[in-house]
Amino acid sequence: METAVFIVCALIVLGGALGVVMSRNPVHAALSLVATLFGVAVLFLNLGAQLLAVVQVIVYTGAIVVLILFVLMLLGVDEDEDLDTEPIVGQRMIAVLVGLFFAGAVLAVIIVGKDAAVTGARSATEAISPSVSNIVQIGRQLFTTYVFPLELTAGLLTIAVVGAVVLSRRPKDLQPIPEPESMTELGDDPLTTTPGEAAH
């Protein structure tokens, strides 16, 4: 049963992730992201992390994706992107190679090392207990072992809120960012070529 749930969720997670990377329309990418996040939430349940599964659905799909979609609609940038032209030549091939190299390296460690790939002391802070509920255990650790990091996250969130207000405040004299000087005049070869230039 656990294996069956894992296989179904893994397919949903990977399909959603590919949808995020490959969809032309940013709204479709955001909806694919929702599929991935739900799949990860079910995988959390499968691993016995009930509280995290609920928080994942509420915080990620309920807040973060909605925030992203809101900004997407607010800015009106929800039209299709042109993904056929490749502005930097060879970028995609190199990016895919880097991704394959990373995934291959980690998979090799997992396949070769098996369970020995995971090192470290067992139950260093608190063993997962089947009799005590998940929430009680996480709360106890948050307010004992991890109380100082918890205080720091309060500061981080305050800074983030203040920073967002400062960044998105409308300045009095709004100047459009000027087009940067031509890089070729500065003795620097251009990184990008427009399709028109590439033709001749």
Partner 1 sequence: MSPNLPLAYLALSAILFAIGGVGLLVRRNPLVMIMCVELMLNAVNLTFVTFGKMLDDISGQVIVFFVMVVAAAEVVIGLALIVALARRRPDANADDLRLLRG
Distance, CA of 67 to CA of 77 (rounded, Å): 14
Per CB under 8 A, which of residues 87..116 are in contact with partner 1? Answer: 87-88, 91-92, 94-96, 98-100, 102-103, 106-107, 110, 114-115
- Residues 4-43, one symbol each (x = binds partner 1 by CB under 8 A, - = not), give --x---x--xx--xx-xx----x--xx--x--xx--x--x
71 binds partner 1 (CB under 8 A): yes
Shortest distance, CB of residue 199 to partner 1, whole angstroms?
19
Q: Are 54 and 38 in contact, with CB atoms under 8 Å apart?
A: no
Rule CB under 8 A: say whether 157 interacts with partner 1. Answer: yes
User: Interface with partner 1 includes 192 (CB under 8 A)?
Assistant: yes
* Choice from 90, 130, 180, 196 touching partner 1 (CB under 8 A): 180
Can you spell out the DSSP letters for 114-125?
GGGGS-S-TTSS
Which of 31, 34, 29, 38 lies closest to 10 in space, CA to CA?
Answer: 38
Residue 64 as a binder of partner 1 (CB under 8 A): the answer is yes
Closest to 193 (Cα-Cα) out of 95, 91, 79: 91
Indicate if the alpha-carbon torsion angle 56, 62, 64, 65 is positive or negative: positive
Residue list 125-154, contact with partner 1 (CB under 8 A): 125-128, 134, 137-138, 141-142, 145-146, 149, 153
Tell which one of 35, 49, 54, 57 touches partner 1 (CB under 8 A): 49
Distance, CA of 165 to CA of 143 (rounded, Å): 30
